[in-house]
Structure 1
């Protein structure tokens, strides 16, 4: 199945919406767990900002890799 078809057909709207809701809902608990795993203290704001920067950098890298691998440009 093509990715474009996945986002344009109505029968896929509800599963995609539920998946997005799950991801948004799991973000805060995942952060709390990752602070414990990486031993980031509650008052260390620099470490939290640094950790957030790493997460955003990695997510951007994943987007670039996805586009490079799966999105074909039409000329």
Structure 2
């Protein structure tokens, strides 16, 4: 048997309500489903943070390359 989890009465009712709505038989399965969603959201936020960091690293060089291409472009922008 695992470790006991102490819940407030209000949270216990919320879990029971979700249990009925989702057709899940055990409270722990509701909690596991919630944890899985939270883990996925945490991974998504980590990916976004990495993408933003990578974008900051290449922005200057990307701007310089684009400026260089515009110099020799046949279609001149105003």
Identify the TM-score tier after normalising by the shorter chain. 0.3 to 0.5
The two structures have a TM-score, normalised by structure 1, of: 0.40
Which protein has the larger Cα radius of gyration, Structure 1 or Structure 2? 2
> Comparing both chains, which one has the higher relative contact order based on Cα–Cα distances under 8 Å and sequence gaps of 6 or more?
2
The two structures have a TM-score, normalised by structure 2, of: 0.39
Answer 1 or 2: which has greater helix percent: 1
